[in-house]
Amino acid sequence: MKTVIYPGTFDPLTTGHLDLIRRSSENFPHIVVAVAGSTHKRPLFTLEERVEMARLAVRGLPQAGKIEVETFEGLLVDYMRSRKATIALRGLRAISDFDYEFQQAQMNRKLYSAYEIIYMMPDERYTYVSSSLVKEVAALGGDVSDLVPPEIIPMLLAKFNRTP
């Protein structure tokens, strides 16, 4: 069975992330949403909160039985080896994402020759949605209801002392 690893910080998981998870689960037998533990991004949410958000969001998907949420530390390729996985999934929203993703893919392939990557573009409704923008909108009191799955809204607003 081919396992596809979808790595990220998911801080928070957005509608764009969920779109890719849903669509990839329709095309692959097993998807692992791999939530990065150690990160230089200084996440707003703890690792445990990010895992909980991902699990809540994928629970309602039609293919939920094919989706697993786990954490990983260190290099993605080491985690992939431990899972005997060779395929990573990454989202591309804009041309600006490509340069970073291209460099990462080349380095990962150098470190793990079996590494393959699949890029997916989110539905056009989500091409502008990023975790960073979601946090900024929420912090400034904006409506995030179309930017994150409904299960995540209370957790996101609580971080900014707001109520749904």
Q: Which of 41, 59, 110, 125 is catalytic?
A: 41
With CA atoms as reference, report the closest residue to 90 among 116, 119, 115.
119
With H, G, I as helix, E, B as strand and everything else as coil, classify residue 137.
helix
Q: Verify whether residue 113 is a known catalytic residue.
A: no
- Token couple for 116: 């393959």
CA gap 136, 132 in Å, rounded: 6
Return the beta strands (E) in the chain as ranges: 3-8, 30-36, 67-72, 87-91, 116-120
Q: Which of 17, 22, 66, 135 is catalytic?
A: 17
Q: Verify whether residue 131 is a known catalytic residue.
A: yes
Q: Verify whether residue 41 is a known catalytic residue.
A: yes
Q: Is residue 111 packed enough to be buried (19+ CB in 10 Å), middle (13-18) or exposed (0-12)? A: middle
With H, G, I as helix, E, B as strand and everything else as coil, classify residue 3.
strand
Q: Which of 24, 25, 130, 131 is catalytic?
A: 131
Q: Which of 23, 30, 93, 109 is catalytic?
A: 93
Residue positions annotated with a catalytic role:
17, 41, 93, 131
